[in-house]
Amino acid sequence: MKPSEHIPVRDLVPPAPVQPIRVLLVDDEHEFRRSTAELLRHAHLECAEASDAAEGAALLERDTFDVLVADINMPGNRDLEFLRRCRADHPYLPV
């Protein structure tokens, strides 16, 4: 390399590791949940699955997610109770 040439800083510093987006998918329809989770994983997203509102709430209590995708017509979500509780308990979690 010639003295007049410079190396861009981006070439000197390795890129910071990128954390995958963590999705919580809550749906009582097994085939829909499974196929949607597969599509999300294919898009390089981490995906945890829950089959009802109670299981989804338990996962939210013990883990951290970047986004929640939930069925609105499933056991434990009468009058959108599960979604309202999620918004109250996790106000910065996109639903």
HSE, CB side, 13 Å, CA atoms: give it for residue 82. Answer: 26
Give the pLDDT score at 76. 82
Q: Which residues pair with 33 in a beta bridge?
A: none
Residue 54 has pLDDT above 60, yes or no: yes
Please tell me the distance from the alpha carbon of residue 68 to that of residue 22, in angstroms, as a whole number: 9
Neighbours of 93 (CB within 10 A): 15
Which segments within the chain are labelled E, that is strand?
Answer: 22-26, 46-50, 67-70
**Stated pTM of the model:** 0.79
CA atoms within 13 A on the CB side of 26: 27
Q: What is the pLDDT of residue 4?
A: 59
